Amino acid sequence: MSTINKQIHLVSRPDGEALADNFKLVDATVGEPQDGQVLVRNHFLSLDPYMRGRMNDAKSYAKPQPLGEVMQGGTAGVVVASKHPGYKPGDTVVGFGGWQQFTMVDAATPGTMRKVDTAHIPLSAYLGAVGMPGVTAWYGLMKICQPKAGQTIVVSAASGAVGSVVGQLAKTRGCRAVGIAGGADKCAYVTGELGFDACVDYKAHRDPKSLYQALKEATPDGVDGCFENVGGAVLDVTLSRMNAFGRIALCGMISGYDGQPIPLAQPQLLLQSRLTLEGFIVSEHMEVWPEALKELGTLVATGKLKYRETVAQGIESAPEAFLGLLKGKNFGKQLVKLV
Question: pLDDT, tens digit, for every residue of 198-224?
Answer: 999 999 999 999 999 999 999 999 999
Cβ count within 10 A of residue 256: 16
Q: Which residues pair with 311 in a beta bridge?
A: 335
Cα separation, 199 vs 282, whole angstroms: 26
- Cβ atoms of residues 189 and 331 within 8 Å: yes
How confident is the model over 27-67, as pLDDT tens digits? 999 999 999 999 999 999 999 988 998 998 877 777 899 99
Could you tell me the pLDDT band of residue 293, with boundaries at 50, 70 and 90?
very high
Cα separation, 244 vs 276, whole angstroms: 10
Starting at the earlier edge strand, list the strands of the sheet with 223-228.
198-201, 176-181, 152-156, 223-228, 242-250, 276-279
Average of per-residue pLDDT values in the chain: 95
Rg of the chain on CA atoms, in Å: 20
Q: Which CATH number fits domain 3-127+307-337: 3.40.190.150, 3.40.50.10070, 3.90.180.10, 3.40.47.10?
A: 3.90.180.10
Give the residue range(s) of CATH 3.40.50.720 domains in the chain.
132-283
Cα separation, 242 vs 274, whole angstroms: 10
What is the phi-psi region of residue 118: left when phi exceeds 0, alpha when psi lies from -120 to 50, beta otherwise? alpha
Could you tell me the pLDDT band of residue 193, with boundaries at 50, 70 and 90?
very high
Domain 132-283: give its CATH superfamily: NAD(P)-binding Rossmann-like Domain (3.40.50.720)
pTM of this structure: 0.93
Check residue 226 and give its pLDDT: 98
CB burial of 18-27 (b: ≥16 within 10 Å; e: otherwise) equals beeebbeebe
- Cβ atoms of residues 137 and 162 within 8 Å: yes
The mean pLDDT value for 16-24 works out to 94
> Is the pLDDT confidence value at 171 over 80?
yes
CA angle, 157 as apex, 329 and 250 as ends, to 5°?
135
